[in-house]
Chains A and B, each alone.
Chain A
Amino acid sequence: MEIIEKIKTNKSNDNLTEIQKICLDKLESSPLPSPKSEQWRLSNKSKFSNFLNYSVNEKDPKFDTPFPNTSQSTIRLVIGDNCQINLIEENYSIKQLNEDELIKYIKEQISYFDQNENWSDLLNLSLNCTKNILGLKINGSAIPPIEIFSHASSNSLNAKTLVIFLEKNCDIDLLQVNLGKDNSSLSQSTFFCLEENSSVNHGVVSYGENKSNLLNSLNVIQQNNSEYNLGSLHFKFNYARFEIRIKQSEGNAKTNIKGMQITKKDEQISTFTKIDFHGPNGFLDQINKSLADDKSHAIFEGSIIVPKIAQKTDASQLSRNLLLSNLAQIDTKPQLEIIADDVKCKHGATISQLNEEELFYMRTRGITLKEASKLQLSSYFQEIISFIPISKERWDLLDKLLNEN
């Protein structure tokens, strides 16, 4: 209940937007996610309450992290106060959704929400006033790559929302970067709608600093013949949850996901994915990697749902995990729920440590153990990093990860 009180005391009831009121109403019936539900069962309670502990900050946080230089062709947007964009070029247009359109869409989404499953979204939308919601409608071709930033400021709880409509026959590369600060909490919700024949290469890179927390929720609806490729990377968070919900609403769509989470110290990072096939001929190829060191805890839960209508679905899900310390923990739970009979579905999971034979081989060639481990890790990371679109070189992701370990 505390969180609701906090939001309400932050501003008078009249100042709440319509969406905030709807979400607060829903939250009132379940102020906190049920720890018995599968999605929240393993969540560290003290870390989660630490997430909610900071005061709500609606102001634009000060941005003091040095950004890598942007190349001229890249469009860079920071969700917050003065984010304005209205680009109408010859081949393409990127327009900001007006408030009515945004409210209509979000309200529709809320009507499908499940209290436990979408708790992060409910929290996000009840925290958020319109200025921290960025809605974009994109169409056309030869669209320059887009970078979108969300960030938190120290000692506060920030919420950012991103809504993107990708119109028919439109292709984009989009990199979303979520940055945590010292002792901060960031709630990020993203809603993606891919219309027919559209395709997106989506990168999500989230990293924090000391004691930063993140609730990152991603909701994607894919229409006929759309293609959604996601490369994601989460590291350096005291507590982070990445929830991915993808719905192939008419089938005939392609989804590729390559995600990775790296935990050290006593961090807990979890990834939850739910892929819903609502039509025939759907395709999914998913790999999720975790690396847990020190006393940390990495969690992966993935479910693939194939109802009767989704015949000829071809789905595969792989969870690969590296456990590097005696005190670290890994939980993984890939799930299949299948009713359609003419489908190809498989999943796999492995938990192990670095391959000793490979390490031994490299050491016999004069490479030190440290170097050999680094080489192995870099190949482990590289598969995911190479899938993240644009600017990955400028962000030096591989170096960041290797130096971390």
Chain B
Amino acid sequence: MVNENLVKDVVKEPYKYGFVTDIETEKIAKGLNEDIIRLISQKKEEPKFLLDFRLKAFKKWQKMKEPDWAGLGYKQIDYQDIIYYSAPKQKEKISSLDEVDPKLLETFDKLGIPLTEQKKLTNVAVDAVFDSVSIATTFREELAEHGVIFCSISEAVKHHSDLIEKYLGTVVPPSDNYFAALNSAVFSDGSFVYIPKGVNCPMDLSSYFRINSGDSGQFERTLIIAEESSSVSYLEGCTAPMFDTNTLHAAVVELIALDDASIKYSTVQNWYAGDEEGIGGIFNFVTKRGKCLGKRSKISWSQVETGSAITWKYPSCLLLGEESVGEFYSVALTNNLQQADTGTKMIHIGPKTKSTIVSKGISAGNSINSYRGLVKMGTKATGSRNYSQCDSMLIGDQASANTFPYIKSQQPNSEIEHEASTCRISEDQLFYLQSRGIEFEEAVSMMVSGFCRDVFNQLPMEFAAEADKLLALKLEGSVG
């Protein structure tokens, strides 16, 4: 018999990114109204079309209702009690990393994202976002040589407003859902990536999001455009300090892939999840969607979700182009009183489109972990295929694992396959491993790792190592 308490002990591990950076910040007043939106827009020196976009979204948001279909239990969010813009005070214009406040650099250093040494250490360009603003973006010159634009979205608004005007809100329109409308109205910063025709981005691009302030929400917006025959791999990481209050994070990510382009978007989400009693933690309401516009284009989402008190996230693919491909690989781990409602939507519109979904959920403690997905074959999606696999692992008899796949087909010449299963850490396997001299914790670690292998294999190298480590931290105590 597995010692339940032992497993539970293994599952407990304090959050190590919970520190607060003591830095002078510029915040605007709490609350949300048209004046606040105008103020944010003014602070960011935005052109008129963007202010109009924000105000229109705000009007739509006011008419919308907060969705409750996911059945997530959380205390009501007071949208007037949130600061919608918070930025660390620093010099107006920064020309190089040396001018960035050392405290900020130190913060990212502590998080394992050394912005200064970045250039020397790895081949990954980083855009670091602290509360509402982007602090620094590395490797910009090198990327520019290839014609790749990688900068914060605020800079893109200033320097590439034509691209922003053309693409912003085309994948996730402001009226898409409640949180997308809110984001469209108040979005602060995020990353912008543009890969020109025929360019394979020479290095992985990465954004690191850090919430530092307890009373401000983070509303970042990311837009990635891959022109014909280009490709890019983008990584995203996030952490936040430990506060007793809940912080709202409502992001929107839009991806656009044209003919033969490919975008790989990987996330390791490790926002603060609240304590064992469920106090504090981030409310993570994210809308992520990719549009495979071109023929043979490909969008691949891979995610490791371990943080947040509430996760509400369904990275999706609209497969419009002929023979376009959508992929979703996800590991979601919930513990204590965390609730994760995550999954994907694969909308097959064009002919011969393909999608693959692999979702692994691990629920421990009193948490709720749900997979909610939609696979839809439109009337023109002849010869399309989908394969979905959702596996859940339960640790302890208080956690819950749910699977809600919606499958809809209007095209007889298409095939959809879905399968789901539930398992626990098998006593036989544990016994076997232990009888071979493997410590209990390591055996659990090996089995969880094995359970998630299909997804980890899809993560880029840098992230695969981080994800393994993260799960190890969350689940396996000191054993890595």
Contacts and interface: CB of A to CB of B under 8 A. Distances in A.
A348 B419 contact: yes
A336 B402 contact: yes
Contacts of B414: 351-352
Given A341-B396, A348-B418, A321 B409 contact: yes
Interface in A333-377: 333-353
Interface stretch (B115-123, B226-234, B269-277, B420-428): B420-428
A314 to B, nearest CB: 11
A323 B412 CA distance: 5
Interface in B392-407: 392, 394-407
A329 interface: yes
B434 interface: no
B50 interface: no
A333 B412 contact: no
Nearest to B424: A341
Interface string A269-302: 0000000000000000000000000000000000
A23 to B, nearest CB: 28
A352 B395 CA distance: 36
B13 interface: no
Contact of B412 (A311, A334, A353): A353
Interface string A290-322: 000000000000000000100100000000010
B415 interface: yes
Interface string B65-86: 0000000000000000000000
Contact of A346 (B409, B410, B422): B422
B416 interface: yes
Nearest to A329: B410
Contacts, number: 110
B411 A343 contact: no
A324 B421 contact: no
A346 B420 contact: yes
Contacts of B413: 353
B34 interface: no
Contact of A308 (B379, B397, B422): B397
Contacts of B424: 341-343
Contacts of A344: 422-423
Contact of B420 (A329, A330, A331, A347): A347
A376 to B, nearest CB: 14
A351 B409 contact: yes
A177 to B, nearest CB: 31
B408 A330 contact: yes
Nearest to B369: A338
A333 B406 CA distance: 5
Contacts of B379: 326-327
Contacts of B419: 346-349
A178 interface: no
A332 interface: yes
Contacts of B405: 333-335, 349
A120 B415 CA distance: 34
Contacts of B395: 341
A348 B405 CA distance: 10
Interface centre among A328, A336, A348 (most CB of B within 10 A): A336
Contacts of A15: none
Nearest to B406: A333
Interface residues of A, number: 34
A405 interface: no
A325 interface: yes
Contact of A336 (B377, B397, B401, B411): B401
Contacts of B408: 329-332
B420 A336 contact: yes
A326 B378 CA distance: 10
Contact of A333 (B394, B396, B401, B404): B404
B263 to A, nearest CB: 28
A335 B402 contact: yes
Given A324-B412, A336-B420, A343-B422, A351 B397 contact: no
A338 B392 contact: yes
Given A349-B416, A350-B415, A336 B406 contact: no
Nearest to B407: A332
Nearest to B403: A336
A335 B408 CA distance: 14
Nearest to A323: B412
Interface string B118-144: 000000000000000000000000000
A351 B402 contact: no
A295 to B, nearest CB: 11
Contacts of B406: 331, 333
Contact of B400 (A321, A327, A338, A342): A338
B412 A325 contact: yes
A339 B399 CA distance: 6
Interface in B229-255: none
Contacts of A324: 412
Nearest to B388: A349
A329 B377 CA distance: 10
Nearest to A337: B402
A64 B414 CA distance: 43
A338 B422 contact: yes
B417 interface: yes
Contact of A352 (B397, B400, B415): B415
B398 A339 contact: yes
A350 B411 CA distance: 13
Contacts of B377: 351
Nearest to A356: B413
Nearest to B391: A346
Interface in B312-334: none
B420 A326 contact: no
Contacts of B411: 323, 326
B394 A338 contact: yes
A352 B377 CA distance: 11
Given A326-B379, A338-B401, A351 B416 contact: yes
A349 B418 contact: yes
Given A308-B397, A311-B397, A341-B424, A347 B412 contact: no
Nearest to B427: A342
Given A329-B410, A341-B399, A352 B422 contact: no
Nearest to B374: A333
A326 B418 CA distance: 21
Contacts of A349: 405, 407, 416-419
A339 to B, nearest CB: 4
Contact of A338 (B396, B402, B412, B416): B402
Nearest to A311: B397
Contacts of A332: 407-408
A333 B395 CA distance: 26
A344 to B, nearest CB: 7
A339 B423 CA distance: 11
Nearest to A343: B422
A333 B407 contact: yes
B402 A352 contact: no
A323 B410 CA distance: 8
Contacts of B402: 335-338
Contacts of B397: 308, 311, 339-342
B427 to A, nearest CB: 9
A352 B403 contact: no
B1 to A, nearest CB: 11
Given A321-B409, A341-B399, A348-B420, 12 more contacts: A308-B398, A323-B411, A328-B410, A330-B407, A331-B406, A333-B404, A334-B405, A335-B403, A336-B401, A343-B422, A346-B419, A353-B412
* Top-4 shortest CB links A-B: A341-B394, A346-B421, A349-B418, A323-B412
12 contacts: A311-B397, A323-B410, A328-B410, A333-B405, A335-B402, A338-B394, A339-B397, A340-B394, A345-B422, A349-B417, A349-B419, A350-B417
